Structure 1
Amino acid sequence: MTVPSGLAEGPIYLDYNATTPIDPTVTEAMQPYLSTAFGNPSSDHHYGHGPRAALDQARAQVATLIGASGGRIVFTGSGSETDNLAIRGTVLGAGRERPHVITQRTEHPAVLQVCTALQRWHGAEVTYLPVDGSGLVDPAALAAAITARTVLVSIMAANNETGALQPIADLARITHERGALFHSDAAQMVGKLPFDVTTADVDLLTVVGHKMYAPKGIAALYVRSGVPLEPVVYGGGQEHGLRAGTENVALAVALGTAAELASDDLAVGNQHRVQKLRDHLHDRLATGLPDRVLLNGPMAARLPNTLNLSILHATGHQLLAALPGIAASTGSACHSGTHEPSPVLTAMGLDTDRGLSALRLSLGRWSTTDDIDRAADQIITAAR
């Protein structure tokens, strides 16, 4: 598999959860729709036929990746927009007075902020479920939180920081038993592990291109047949009437191609290769820094590529500053020069020192054993 040119000369890339390099096959697939196949897919003439067929194919490729035999695939401009369409669209589409929404404390800001906006502008009530020390939601807590006014439950499939995998099928079943709809932001999970919307029984699912080797600026929302949604963008009726604006065919083709590549990767078990590399990195660090390395998040129920560690007696941001040969993320946020622990790790009950010591190391398609060994050597040396 061809390595993207952007990875050839730079630091060891261990930040795949932040964004993925664009696969060269994806770049190649986009090219005709940036030049010769320029037509508007809504045009009923020669120049519109090719782009319209490409859009249909891209929808089918995304649907195949997530096991969607029915429903709609709606292309959007980002994961944040997709979450807004799913959550705000469902709440407004329900048309209920004082609608109730349930989410969790460790959700992505795109979910948390739209919930806050619904409280502010539409009188919604929002329940934020706690998580345990591994970052997981208790299905019993969800069952206890649902009321007759609950219209939607939104729980991410996999956490972007720890990789924690929520029990989506159980949560969706409980939600449907009480008559509400279920949405999951699966930006981090889709493409890394098999996911089937029918088996999981979700009503709405967020898929994001730049988390799976497509460019930024393209995402998709799966909408189960019969789910009523109010559009976020009004206009000419594109995307099943849910997202107006002439479609960006090149980016849709990119997402469709990335989805097909992900399906191929999963079919040959590439996730197992990545998991072995992740575990090798963990073992190297734990051996090289005895009694200083603590795993944040579940040992088993997490993404195969994600390793969130606290290295005691070192802060994450200082450690990364001493590692110019590695591109990774910390578990803290910087506000006006002051570092604060990640809200995700704080919600899991981790103390401040452990939160500030966290590193998120996320692997991907082009991670190699040599990369992992060199990264481990550099981290151990810097931490010592």
Structure 2
Amino acid sequence: MIYLDNAATTELCEEAREAMRPYLEEDYGNPSSIYLFAQRAKRAVEESRRKLSELMGVSPMELYFTGGGTESDNWALISGIESTGKSHIISSKIEHHAVLRSCAYLEKRGFSVSYLDVDERGRVDPAAVLEAIRDETGLISIMSANNEIGTIEPISEIAEIAGEKGILFHTDAVQAFGQLPLPLGKSRIDLLSASAHKIRGPKGVGLLYMRRGVKLPPYLHGGEQERGRRAGTENVAAIAGFAAAAERAFRTMRERGEKERRMRDYLIRRLTTEIPDCCLNGDPEERLPNNVNVCIRGVEAEPLLLLLDQRGIAASAGSACASGSLDPSHVILALGASREDAYGSLRLSLDERLSREDADRVVSEIKRIADYLRRE
């Protein structure tokens, strides 16, 4: 199989697997218990927090472990706006559903949300953020990089605007974490969400960065875990795996990114020049190093993906969280594309192991299938 859906999830790396093993087989104690056996698990959680904080350039006290990016986003949005005592949120039309549906939930509770447009490349204009701010604005949430089209957003500029206005700023960095340098120590970012399984860590664990001085109320209620901010017994093995995967991701970021960028650009060039009416979605330069998203006009993504799967190639039409939906991608529509074009968007999210030979096979199969579907 040629796996090109790394934006949905990634293969567990060996470093994460080995880091997790002791807490699955031997040191399985509850880290909240006081006896020595359990305290080994507690030390693993705190050592993982320390490792992640060093990689991110923040204090360990600013990191809270969660069940994944969705929980982190929900916590940031819902508890975030509640903590401000204000009623207005600013976000964008291309956010992940974990943010958009949190906003929709808040709207039902009486909060108001401004969903900003993006340009044809999927970029949020900082000037539009500034213009949307009202007296009652309490929270701004803009993703670091889009999960479907890969466009990198001007987060530092937007965070600066929010900071100057005294507004809480959150960024969903699930796709950017481990792929791009995140300027946490030098920016005005208040809240940041990340997830382990996008960087070859385990599923079911994530983090919320909460800048010192920001005090969100708990989102989950129960015990006193995570310094009383996030109830629930810690997933010790997954947390250890998260830290190990992050160490690998940050250590290899530059070299890995260069490899992915070269293969990304090779795929984009071949697909858009060799397939008629095939165009790139997203920014050609300011995009994630491993993201290819194209629209093949006259070809629906669903049969294309099924036929690719039969040929041993795993790809996607957009967010895995929207699989099964009959609606076209909200991200592609926000770029100004027609519904027909949005149904024909194809996302290839690769990693550094993709060879030129495999890339050539992928292009050949897509060309062959697109030609077949257009003749049907």
TM-score (norm 1): 0.91
Aligned pair in 2 of structure 1 residues 202, 35: CA closer, same or farther (>3 Å)? same
| Alpha-carbon distance in structure 2 between the residues aligned to 1:339 and 1:239 | 39
State the shift of 1:159 in Å.
0.4
State the shift of 1:236 in Å.
1.6
- Residue aligning to 2:292: 307
- Residue aligning to 2:19: 29
| Alpha-carbon distance in structure 2 between the residues aligned to 1:199 and 1:348 | 31
Aligned pair in 2 of structure 1 residues 340, 89: CA closer, same or farther (>3 Å)? closer
2:362 to 371, 375, 382: 375
Report the 3-state secondary structure (helix = DSSP H, G, I; strand = E; otherwise coil) of the residue aligned with 2:327. strand
RMSD of equivalent CA atoms: 2.0
Q: Output the amino acid matched with 2:2.
A: I
2:182 to 195, 204, 207: 195
1:105-184 equivalences in 2 (<5 Å): 105-121=93-109, 123-184=110-171
1:272 partnered with 2:258: yes
Q: Which runs of 5+ in 2 are unaligned?
A: 372-376
| Alpha-carbon distance in structure 2 between the residues aligned to 1:261 and 1:93 | 35
| Alpha-carbon distance in structure 2 between the residues aligned to 1:212 and 1:182 | 24
Aligned pair in 2 of structure 1 residues 68, 348: CA closer, same or farther (>3 Å)? same
| Alpha-carbon distance in structure 2 between the residues aligned to 1:276 and 1:33 | 38
| Alpha-carbon distance in structure 1 between the residues aligned to 2:242 and 2:16 | 8
* Contact 1:331/1:341 (<8 A) preserved: no
| Alpha-carbon distance in structure 2 between the residues aligned to 1:34 and 1:333 | 28
Q: Output the amino acid matched with 1:107.
A: E
- Residue aligning to 1:361: 348
Aligned pair in 2 of structure 1 residues 138, 336: CA closer, same or farther (>3 Å)? closer
State the shift of 1:69 in Å.
3.9
- Residue aligning to 1:4: none
1:283 partnered with 2:273: no
* Contact 1:332/1:339 (<8 A) preserved: no
- Residue aligning to 2:82: 92
| Alpha-carbon distance in structure 2 between the residues aligned to 1:332 and 1:229 | 28
User: Over residues 127-186 of structure 1, what are the superposed CA-to-partner deviations in whole Å (9 max), with x where a residue is unaligned?
Assistant: 111111111111111101112211110101010000011100000001111110100000
- Residue aligning to 1:316: 301
| 272-281 vs 42-51, greater mean Cα deviation | 42-51
1:343-362 equivalences in 2 (<5 Å): 343-362=330-349
| Alpha-carbon distance in structure 1 between the residues aligned to 2:120 and 2:248 | 35
Aligned pair in 2 of structure 1 residues 209, 280: CA closer, same or farther (>3 Å)? same
Q: Output the amino acid matched with 2:304.
A: L
- Residue aligning to 2:195: 208
- Residue aligning to 1:252: 239
TM-score (norm 2): 0.93
1:341 partnered with 2:341: no
State the shift of 1:349 in Å.
0.5
Q: Output the amino acid matched with 1:237.
A: E
| 280-289 vs 196-205, greater mean Cα deviation | 280-289
Q: Matched residues, percent identical? A: 42
Q: Which runs of 5+ in 1 are unaligned?
A: 1-10
Total equivalences in the alignment: 369
Q: Output the amino acid matched with 2:292.
A: L
Q: Output the amino acid matched with 1:73.
A: L
1:74-93 equivalences in 2 (<5 Å): 74-93=64-83
Q: Output the amino acid matched with 2:29.
A: G
User: Over residues 350-384 of structure 1, what are the superposed CA-to-partner deviations in whole Å (9 max), with x where a residue is unaligned?
Assistant: 11222122100111143222221211121112122
* Contact 2:64/2:230 (<8 A) preserved: yes
Q: Output the amino acid matched with 2:279.
A: L
Aligned pair in 2 of structure 1 residues 71, 143: CA closer, same or farther (>3 Å)? farther
